[in-house]
Amino acid sequence: MYKYSEKDKSIIESRTKQFKNQVQRRLNGQLSEEEFKPLRLMNGLYLQLHAYMLRVAIPYGELSSSQLRKLAFIAEKFDRGYGHFTTRQNIQFNWPKLPDVPDILHELSKVEMHAIQTSGNCIRNISSDHLAGITIDEIEDPRPWCEIIRQWSTFHPEFSFLPRKFKIAVIGSKKDRAAMLVHDIGLRLIKKDKEIGFEVFVGGGQGRTPIIAKKIKNFLQKKDLLNYLEAILNTYNQEGRRDNIYKARIKILVKELGIEKFKLLVDENFKKLSDKNLEIDKVSIDKIFSFFTLPELKPNSHKVQIHKNKEYNEWVTQNTLSHKVSGYSIVHISLKSANHPPGDISSQQMMALSKISEDFSFSEIRVTHEQNLILPHVENKNIYKLWIELKKLSLATPNIGLISDTICCPGMDYCALATARSIPISQKISNHFKSFSDQKILGDLKIKISGCINACGHHHVGNIGILGLDRNGQEFYQITLGGSAKEDASIGEIVGPSFPESKLIDAINTILNTYKKNKKKKTEDFLSVFRRVGIKEFKKDLYDNT
């Protein structure tokens, strides 16, 4: 895991002090809200529906046990005893008080954490594959590259006032587990003629205008990564629209210019502006990679234990994966138990998990963009013991990748921009579909829910997407089908008129029945059936006879 340099530490400390001073000036009236708002947003502090909300960065979703313990402490001391993991692998605290925020930031800095660039029109937290460095199908670990980009982009003077926010994801496998293709820039490590470099995608995104990113470069040499990113960002900074917030994202620029024209401009900038100092040499790459070595795992032949306990066996089947080192497993911790707000975790759970990660997983925890957690290196011989511990904490729900593992944004219960609630919808779904065997029959199925068109709940790329709408003061829910955030990414199609909350579960059931009756073999998943039969079949069953 990356450790802060002295320079990193001093940057964070001085920013924390600076913000303390700004808060003080706000509280005593020297700064108006208009003046203070951009300053607080630069430090991840929003004012939401009921209270302030602080978003803390978790670079590429990686946490140490001491960081998780600190988050538990903050939740307990300064908030209401819980936190919420987001779809950018960050954590949000929903109830901090303004005078406490500098103290929170100070506490975070003690464990090398902060809230910088979690808001505003800058380069946000770099996200990555939650299985980075531990899965067999990887070309190379993407985390060091995320770190290199994080260091380059933090406080980058030219990219602190972009036309809009900017999101980058890096993955190291063919499989996309980070929704890379719906990012402003997506980078995939690939191998060409024995050399590892990047495939570069640009202009993906969700929100009001969902678009799958286009490939802009087939192969980018590692040494050129930062110069090429600068060239893209410079092109966006020069050409991107600032007159209309809805047209300001890079995806609109790429769409309007066309990928070929955009590529030409980027290539020109790359030639013109490339800076020797930004070329990454092998020594610096190796230095960053040295932070991301595996802990001392001892390959062994232990298999995951089988027990008579049905519940345990279900959990093992659904929530564990093989590690690249034999004798170890990757364990998913679902934050989606029935009736639970997706991604929420209590301070007690965080505190206990921190200890569990020390006992079972070399003090490492990861956050997935699907709002779950991972213990990355658990010895197979300890899996049953671990399950017992997780179960005591209500953290052993066996539903990873199943229908009740919904992604869900905070919606109108928290968010000032929402048009409808989303958490109660996800609770209804997780409650309705809580039987493991029923969920298994449905197989891999991603339901994603957003409380407004900003799509923080990724509904556009849900196999079933649900978007909350306001229809004359009433909550209605629009359903999209066939979205995917994986390597075969696609934007879901709107199935038809929206449903009131009272009819939504029935509508989902009808959709699932259409899937079941069209399924050709047991293993054919929802998305494959949808892509084979098309939306008409689903429309017919949903709306004919109504």
Partner 1 sequence: MAKKLRGEFFILSANDLRTGEVVFLTEKGWSVNSSEATIIKIDQVDKFQAISDRDEKKCIIVSSKFVELDENRKIKSLRDKIRNSGLTFKI
Contact 93/75 with Cβ under 8 angstroms? yes
- 142 lies in the site for ligand SF4, by CB under 6 A: no
- Rounded Cα–Cα distance for residues 165 and 123 (Å): 6
Site for ligand SF4 in 254-293 (CB under 6 A): none
Q: Among partner 1, ligand SF4, none, what binds residue 108 when CB lies within 5 to 8 Å by partner kind? A: none
Please give the helix or strand (H or E) that residue 225 lies within, else none: helix 225-239
- 90 lies in the site for ligand SF4, by CB under 6 A: no
Contact 451/421 with Cβ under 8 angstroms? yes
- 79 lies in the site for partner 1, by CB under 8 A: no
Q: Which is it for strands 195-202 and 214-221: parallel, antiparallel or unpaired? A: antiparallel
Per-residue contact string for residues 417-436; x = within reach of ligand SF4 by CB under 6 A = xx------------------
- 52 lies in the site for partner 1, by CB under 8 A: yes
Cβ nearer to ligand SF4, comparing 285 with 417: 417
What is the smallest separation between the CB atom of 230 and partner 1, expressed in angstroms?
37
Q: Among ligand SF4, partner 1, none, what binds residue 451 when CB lies within 5 to 8 Å by partner kind? A: ligand SF4
- Rounded Cα–Cα distance for residues 516 and 522 (Å): 9
- 427 lies in the site for partner 1, by CB under 8 A: yes
Cβ nearer to partner 1, comparing 221 with 346: 346
Over its C-alpha atoms, the chain yields an Rg (Å, rounded) of: 23
What is the smallest separation between the CB atom of 365 and partner 1, expressed in angstroms?
22
Structure tokens, 156: 């980058």
Work out the number of other CB atoms within 10 angstroms of the CB of residue 291: 12
What is the smallest separation between the CB atom of 208 and partner 1, expressed in angstroms?
20
For the range 496-504, what are the long-range contacts, defined as Cβ-Cβ under 8 Å and sequence gap of 24 or more? 496/539, 496/542, 496/543, 497/543, 498/469, 498/471, 500/474, 500/475, 500/476, 501/424, 501/425, 501/475, 501/476, 501/477, 504/425, 504/428, 504/466, 504/477
- Contacts with ligand SF4 by CB under 6 A: the residue count is 13
Cβ nearer to partner 1, comparing 208 with 471: 471
Among 152, 153, 151, 142, which residue's Cα sits nearest to residue 186? 142
Stretch that binds ligand SF4, among 140-148, 415-423, 501-509, 532-540 (CB under 6 A): 415-423
Site for ligand SF4 in 449-478 (CB under 6 A): 450-452, 454-457
Q: Among ligand SF4, partner 1, none, what binds residue 97 when CB lies within 5 to 8 Å by partner kind? A: partner 1
Per-residue contact string for residues 447-476; x = within reach of partner 1 by CB under 8 A = -----------------------x--x-x-
**Identity at 165, one-letter amino acid code:** K
State which of residues 27, 136, 245, 273 lies at the interface with partner 1 (CB under 8 A): 27
- Rounded Cα–Cα distance for residues 289 and 145 (Å): 9
Which residue is it, tokens 């410079």? 234
Binding site for partner 1 (CB under 8 A): 26-29, 33, 47, 49-52, 80, 82, 95-99, 339, 341, 344, 412-414, 418, 421, 423-424, 427, 470, 473, 475
Residues that bind ligand SF4 (CB under 6 A): 409-411, 415, 417-418, 450-452, 454-457
